Structure 1
Amino acid sequence: MKFQEDFLQTVWKYQYFDKQGLDTSNGDSIQIKKIGFHNFYEGPDFLEAHVQIGKLEYFGHVEVHLKASDWKHHEHDSDPRYNSVILHVVWEEDKPIFRKDGTPVPTLVLKGRILLDVLRNYERLISGNEALLCSESIHDVADIIKFSALEKALVERLDKKSSEVLEILDKTKGDWEEACFQWMMRAFGFKTNANAMEHLSAMLTIKMLKKHGGSSLIIQAILLGQAGLIPDEVQDEYGKILKGEFDFHSKKYSLPTPMHFSQWKFMGVRPGNFPTYRLVQLGEIISKSPNLLSTILNDSANFKTLQDIFDITIPDYWRYHYHFDKKSGKKISGKISVNSFNLLIINFVVPIWFAYGKYLQESHWQERCFDLLQSIVAEENFIVRKFSSSGWNAQNSFDSQGMIGLFRANCQQKKCLECKVGQNLLKPSKK
């Protein structure tokens, strides 16, 4: 049977092996008093362990390998961090190993000791052909375990997003308002045009746009013009007005060379998500809420305030156009859809809250994020459907965001043993 090192780490972590008559490869008796803390960073696998070997008590670290020779292959024999390893746990001992100072490391061989149920459960888990290897067994996992797995995945997902926000904050030299603007622009790209929106946001500043808070037309002209979405030879009167406003303000603010139309994606995108349409909506939001950051952080205790921020109506021109000079065959809604609104809360507001709490080291912002996500309906996408088809249904966006994080970090990577669901499925049956 083939398995990876993470399987042995899990076996040690949960002590899924026969501990009767436990001894080292040299015949010294072993009593495990403390397994240590699982270390997910560089250094020994388990820190601050406590074992008794023979009559002596040892306090230090535990390292886990498939083969004892992996100690030298990983160059632990020359790494001083491994001088404090008190027990080497391996599947098989193919050679004796030594610390940097030449002293031997006591070795525990698990071959023939791992509980049969655990081996069978592991083989059953990794032999699945579905995208979710646990799909056939997920119904055996308690809801509290699944919730815990989603919570962990969600925190890791939000932590990653908030780190991206804080990177922007660093680039803006601690300007939260500017960082919020750039993050909002990226969120309005709705994945397909997120990178282009990010590029555009770096060419403008919210302070400049706020100077025209009383005129959404000027803000829209600057956004569309700098995006390269206003044709040089625009024909209709409204387009000419926007072109004139952009040309004037581009010179006034010494704006860089505009982006090119080809940088934006229209193919395969629903018309309501065209970048022209989204930039017009952004212009309305900035014009309506010039103090957007303050509103999001301080005035959005209830959901209604957040709804009000995005409750905008675009100019009549855009009710009948997706592009300049090309009239649409049907009237277009001037509102941000409920689905788009929910995605903006998930991908714009929540990461800003989480990053702000992380920046201030105030944990209540994390709980605020959780509460907000639990008030939003679950997303519908191919990842959430994979969980649903296995009988694990998302009740809200807390669940769906957790599922997305879990799928990408664990399921796709086949890292089942880093997931609490996979760990739970590995445990032996009760007798």
Structure 2
Amino acid sequence: MSFKEDFIHALWKYQYFDKRGLTTVADSELEIKKIGFQNFHEGPDFSEAHIVIDKIDLFGNIEVHIRSSDWNAHGHEEDINYDSVILHVVWEHDQEVRRKDGTTIPTLALKGKVFLDVLRNYQRLINTRKQLLCSDFLDHVKPIIKFSMLERALVERLHLKSSLIHKEVAATAGDWEEVAYRWLFYCFGFKVNSTPMLKLARAMPYRLLKKHADQPLIQEALLLGQAGFCYQSEADDYTIFLKKEYEFYRKKYQLQEAVYPSEWRFMRVRPSNYPSVRIGQLAAVLSKSPGLFSFLTKKIHSIKDLMVFFHAKPNTYWEHHYQLSKPGLKRQNRLLSNQTIYLLGINFIVPLWYAYGQFVDEAPWRERCFDFLQEIPAEQNRIIASFEKEDWSPENAFDTQGMIGIHHGYCHPKKCLDCKIGQNVLRPAK
């Protein structure tokens, strides 16, 4: 049987082995009083444990390995941080191990002691070829456990996105108006152009753009100019106008060249998602609100509010063009679709609120995020389809974001033993 060390961690953490007549490899009587707290940082795997060996109480740490010899392989014999280990828990004992001072460490070998149900469930879990590893067990997992894991994965996903926002908070010395502006651009890149969009926002500060709140054409000229789109070999009248305005304000504000045209991705991107079109849409949205962050936090309470906010009509030029000086074959509606606004609600507004709630340490922002996500229809993609295939259907974006979090954080890297569902699947029958 092959497995990773996390399986041994789970066996110890949940005590999935027969503890009747338990002894160490040296035949000393062993009683487990307290398993300790799992340590996810450097040092022994479990801290503050309490065991009794031959009627002597021992308090300290627990270290877990697949084989006893891993102790030396990991260099613990020379590390004083492991001198406090009172028990070495392994699957197989193949070598006596000692602390740095030479004293022998008691060892518990779990081979032959683990409940058969646990071994069978683990093998079925890790050997399946299905995309959702626990699919064969889902019918037996209680809804409360599924929901709990969805919420946990969603929160972890929001923490990850929030960390990106907090970097901009630090970079702007806590200027949340500028942060909201930069995050909006990042999200408007829709993954493929998120990086150059963020670079553009950093190079075209919101404080300067707000000076032209009543001049949407100037705002568009500044953004498209800083994006490197105003320099076309065969420019039409609108492009010539934008270039002229951009050159004037570039000198006035001493703007540096921000994004090279080669940094933008157009290949394998639908024309409706071209960065030039997205910048035109951004200019229309920003012209509606001179105070972006204050508006988003005080005026947006529902997905309907967000749809009104993003329902901004770009310059009519973009109805006939997908790049500057490059007309399309037919007229296009450049208003943001409902589906696009739903995605912005999920990826823009909710992480921004969540990050701000962390920043000011106010818990209600978390519930506001959860409530908002439950207003948004469930997403449709290949990851969600893998859950639906197993009769686990999402009701809204709260569910789908949790499912995406479970997939990326647990299913894909096969971290089933860190997942509440996987832990539930592993346990033996009563």
Query: Following superposition of structure 1 onto structure 2, how do residues 351-362 of structure 1 map, counting pairs within 5 Å?
Result: 351-362=351-362
Cα deviation, 1:379-420, whole Å, max 9, x if unaligned, reads 111211122222222221111111212111211111111111
Counterpart CA distance in 2 for 1:170 and 1:234 is: 42
AA at the equivalent of 2:21: G
> More deviation in 114-123 or 46-55?
46-55
1:207 matched residue in structure 2: 207
SS of the residue 1:57 aligns to: strand
Identity of aligned pairs, percent?
Answer: 49
1:321 matched residue in structure 2: 321
Shift of 1:258: 4.6
Query: Following superposition of structure 1 onto structure 2, how do residues 2-401 of structure 1 map, counting pairs within 5 Å?
Result: 2-401=2-401
Native 8 Å contact 1:23 1:29 kept in 2 = yes
Native 8 Å contact 2:312 2:335 kept in 1 = yes
Counterpart CA distance in 2 for 1:351 and 1:14 is: 34
1:419 matched residue in structure 2: 419
Native 8 Å contact 1:234 1:324 kept in 2 = no
Counterpart CA distance in 2 for 1:36 and 1:298 is: 46
Counterpart CA distance in 2 for 1:112 and 1:86 is: 22
CA separation of 1:80 and 1:370: change in aligned 2, threshold 3 A: farther
Cα deviation, 1:169-200, whole Å, max 9, x if unaligned, reads 11222222212211111000001111110121
SS of the residue 1:61 aligns to: strand
Native 8 Å contact 1:86 1:106 kept in 2 = yes
Counterpart CA distance in 2 for 1:72 and 1:301 is: 58
SS of the residue 2:66 aligns to: strand
Counterpart CA distance in 2 for 1:242 and 1:369 is: 39
Counterpart CA distance in 2 for 1:367 and 1:82 is: 42
Cα deviation, 1:259-297, whole Å, max 9, x if unaligned, reads 232221222222221111110111111111111101112
Cα deviation, 1:280-322, whole Å, max 9, x if unaligned, reads 1111111111111011122323433322321211121111211
Cα deviation, 1:63-94, whole Å, max 9, x if unaligned, reads 11111111111122222322222211111111
AA at the equivalent of 2:126: I
Counterpart CA distance in 1 for 2:127 and 2:326 is: 55
SS of the residue 2:119 aligns to: helix
> More deviation in 95-104 or 232-241?
232-241
Native 8 Å contact 2:16 2:427 kept in 1 = yes
Shift of 1:233: 4.1
AA at the equivalent of 2:24: T
AA at the equivalent of 1:18: D
AA at the equivalent of 1:55: K
The TM-score, its normalising length taken from structure 1, stands at 0.96
Counterpart CA distance in 2 for 1:414 and 1:267 is: 33
Cα deviation, 1:123-160, whole Å, max 9, x if unaligned, reads 11111112222223222222111112221111111111
SS of the residue 1:60 aligns to: strand
AA at the equivalent of 1:59: F
AA at the equivalent of 1:269: V
SS of the residue 1:202 aligns to: helix
AA at the equivalent of 1:79: D
Runs of 5+ unmatched residues, structure 1: none
Counterpart CA distance in 2 for 1:301 and 1:79 is: 54
SS of the residue 2:167 aligns to: helix
Native 8 Å contact 2:199 2:258 kept in 1 = no
Native 8 Å contact 2:276 2:324 kept in 1 = no
Cα deviation, 1:211-246, whole Å, max 9, x if unaligned, reads 000011111111111111123445332222212111
CA separation of 1:363 and 1:81: change in aligned 2, threshold 3 A: farther
SS of the residue 1:64 aligns to: strand
AA at the equivalent of 2:335: K
AA at the equivalent of 1:184: L
Counterpart CA distance in 2 for 1:316 and 1:385 is: 38
Equivalenced residues, count: 430
Native 8 Å contact 2:307 2:338 kept in 1 = no
Across the aligned residues of Structure 1 and Structure 2, the Cα RMSD in angstroms comes to 1.5
Shift of 1:324: 2.3
